[in-house]
Structure 1
């Protein structure tokens, strides 16, 4: 049984199926489908615990967003654990994570956003060329364009115009936020 569940190609396919199901929102990849396509020679009662183990490992790795060193340490610990995984399985899992980490991370981030998020920001400083008050002509104006959006939807843009006084107020508030964050970080 162990040799049947170590096949690199089948395990890689299984991990891909689990990732599609758990992280990329494709619920059609059922236990029966994965079993039938990847491990038809293994009895279902032996496949189920193996599937649960691989699902748990993949979710642990993804939720911790493991880098190479963390992944190596985690998989080494799993190979030494009784009822853990083999070194061949660890190698397949490592290779799979290294090639799919970015897509899985992106998918998890998109799933965790309920509302629009900032996609882009651009700014420039202009000089007013027209105004109802002649004193405001040729004064500097900060133009800020914010791009908001939700995954898979069109962006919305918000354009803001600030005079010198407003820019100074914003910078002061940002300094206060930075000080608060630094204070909290030092207390932690």
Structure 2
């Protein structure tokens, strides 16, 4: 008795859109929604199609393609031997336009190793109390920073600078700016 034939992989824009969402969810966590609840799940697509769509999404995402770049890229893929069809290109383009921002944010969060500065506030106060009488009524800069990772509870840091420390910090920031300017001009 002959083995039963497997049904062909699902075709059509909805099936390809669901495949792209699944591939994006693995490669770029939190970037795309899965198929809507209650929608029937299709047979698993062939590995070759999944791998091809994954490679295309990786290329598109790593270049953070705008609509013109995307159109040129997908047109080239449709003309390539073993490439994609124009219908697949249309689904990919629609998917990218809908999920570009989320995929970009996912790539950024994956590339961060440490905490980031989420928010910063500052003000200048006058000291009203001090151990030394000559420090009363002197200005101080109060800097409050919110530091943390996305999706995690933040930490708050409060710094107090007198006039000398503010001058030193401004000098260091100027040195950093000069170094950055030199580096960007040389490239």
TM bin, normalised by shorter chain, reads: 0.7 to 0.9
Which residue does 1:37 correspond to in 2? 41
Aligned length, in residue pairs: 172
Pairing 1:9–2:14 present: yes
TM-score, scaled to structure 2: 0.83
Q: 2:121 & 2:50 partners in 1: Cα distance?
A: 47
Residue aligned with 2:150, SS: coil
Which residue does 1:176 correspond to in 2? 175
Which residue does 1:23 correspond to in 2? 28
Structure 1 contact 110–151 (Cα < 8 Å) conserved: yes
Q: Which runs of 5+ in 2 are unaligned?
A: 1-8, 35-39
TM-score, scaled to structure 1: 0.82
Structure 2 contact 145–157 (Cα < 8 Å) conserved: yes
Q: Which runs of 5+ in 1 are unaligned?
A: 30-35
Which residue does 2:3 correspond to in 1? none
Which residue does 1:120 correspond to in 2? 119
Which residue does 1:74 correspond to in 2? 73
Structure 2 contact 10–42 (Cα < 8 Å) conserved: no
Which residue does 2:60 correspond to in 1? 61
Once the two structures are superposed, the pairs formed by residues 66-145 of structure 1 within 5 Å of their partners are 66-145=65-144
Greater helix percent: which structure? 1
